[in-house]
Structure 1
Amino acid sequence: MNPYKYAIDVQGLNKYFGDKHVVKDLSLQVSRGEIVGFLGPNGSGKTTAIRMLCGLLTPDSGTGHCLGYDIATQSDAIKREVGYMTQKFSYWEDLSIRENLDFVARVYELANRKHVVDEALETLGLTSRSSQLARSLSGGWKQRLALAACMLRHPRLLLLDEPTAGVDPSARRDFWEELHELAASGVSVLISTHYMDEAERCHKLAYIAYGNLLAQGSAKSIIQTQGLYTYEVRGENLMNISKFLAQNDAIEQTVIFGSTLHVSGKNPQAIETILEGHRYTAIPTSLEDVFIYLMKNSKDNFGDENV
């Protein structure tokens, strides 16, 4: 077995599409059995980065290893040992769950296909639905099928590109239980997501905006690093209050959450002075507050989606 310290260990990765600098000096480490959330607005280079890590794209510059293999020269070895789950469901709608998995196992030339497929069906709770056509599956069950296909070769690293987009909360919760079981068994996971509840379930986070990695670490450390103080304002006409407060330089951002307004900034004394006369309470800055702040302060310098 190829020895390695980190499942992912890359430094200074860059990727251009024409004159567009899509990924800029990306450095990232993912340990064994670690779930790392990859976050950022659409068009920020998350998918491009993931494709470089799994050997589907070659970096224009930078160095690194994935499962101990060089990402520039050993992409074929990486492809054999990494499970990659794309944004869109990419299996065959007119085949059953079992037929899909059997076909993938044949493509991989796996020995003892029936046993391998049966094991994947059992692990992901798909046995009772194994004869159901893929086209009739809900988003959550399609997601399980895609994950089962990824797991056929028992990969040591999963690269998951927004796997739960459009999936209901219950199915997302079940999916994350599966991920944590896999991580407990030593599988490493890099997962891109837009859901803050999912981000908080990761061991570590990496936030990329328009090609630049702006923050990485635990959710707690990222929140602390930004140095934001947040207040919850209640009252009527929150939109008007938001517009008024946003004109003040001490207010970094205002965001309406249902019947409350979150007001954030770096100087708590100045904010409290501005909020005099309003009903407000100091609250802990949330991960969502921080990511809205990071997104607002990052610059979209190319503007294309799905990169």
Structure 2
Amino acid sequence: MADITRNHRPTVWLPIPAEDVGGLPEDLEYRFWDGAEEFPGDPADAAFYVVPYMKGAEVAGRPLPRMSGVRVVQTLSAGVDHVTPFLPGLPAGVRLCNARGVHEASTAELAVALTLAALRGIPRFVRGQDAEEWHDGFYPALADKQVLIVGYGSIGAAIENRLTPFECHVTRVARLARRSPHGPVHALGDLPGLLPQADVVILSTPLTPGTRHLADARFLAGMKDGALLVNVARGPVVDTGALLAELEAGRLQAALDVTDPEPLPQGHPLWHAPGLLLSPHVGGSTSAFLPRAKRLLRDQLNRFAAGQDLANVVTTT
């Protein structure tokens, strides 16, 4: 609960100017910080810290060791892996919240776009246009394909919603088995039996110790010949070396919005791996981001000021 008195207003660090967000409670003090070298005030005074978006772990974590009074850490990303290493140094009771509801639409759009582009040969057509080459013929369709979504949270569900009109068959996997409005969700332990059936495997799982290198050599070997791996999760969910081996052998295709390492350095073999389509981690950074991020911040900060439960709490220290 926010400790709001006439003499002291809790301080909020925002990566978007408060006046641009609009609709924020007046009984909070706002400081703008988007990762600049200089802090906008003493980090120890911050009660609510909104992490700068897409600035990396070094920037996200820079003020945290000095935030002795922080009560909420709010990311503007769906994943929180860039913040979790700093949690042990925070006071007890700090709530870490993610941006559930902000990125589902954009990330799901890109997952479907990458899938369609890779299957239908769009990279080949673009290169053919540059070289004035006409690459006609038959290409795989998404229709009737077996699609396996690994990481069936809000983004995974949004991906399925957008796949439905394409007349493909979707199988869902999450950490634990459960039922969803669309049907059963399998547990991760079921993957060995599910992977050989999938034509397309879409990764949308958060990066945790349990999902790091989830798509390792054994996982990839379990995929059928010619299958497509799409990663809109985090780069380290895939073992890069194991994927390169499969791509260079010509057995699998891949479409990656995220890589390990990231950003991908010049000269890295992924740049020219056969059967690979790359996008530069743009799943969430679209025109849909800012209005939804502002809406989330308005809601969270009004809840905080009123002493209400916050949304999207991932963990509490």
* TM-score, scaled relative to structure 1: 0.30
The answer to which structure, 1 or 2, has the higher relative contact order (CA under 8 A, 6+ apart) is 1
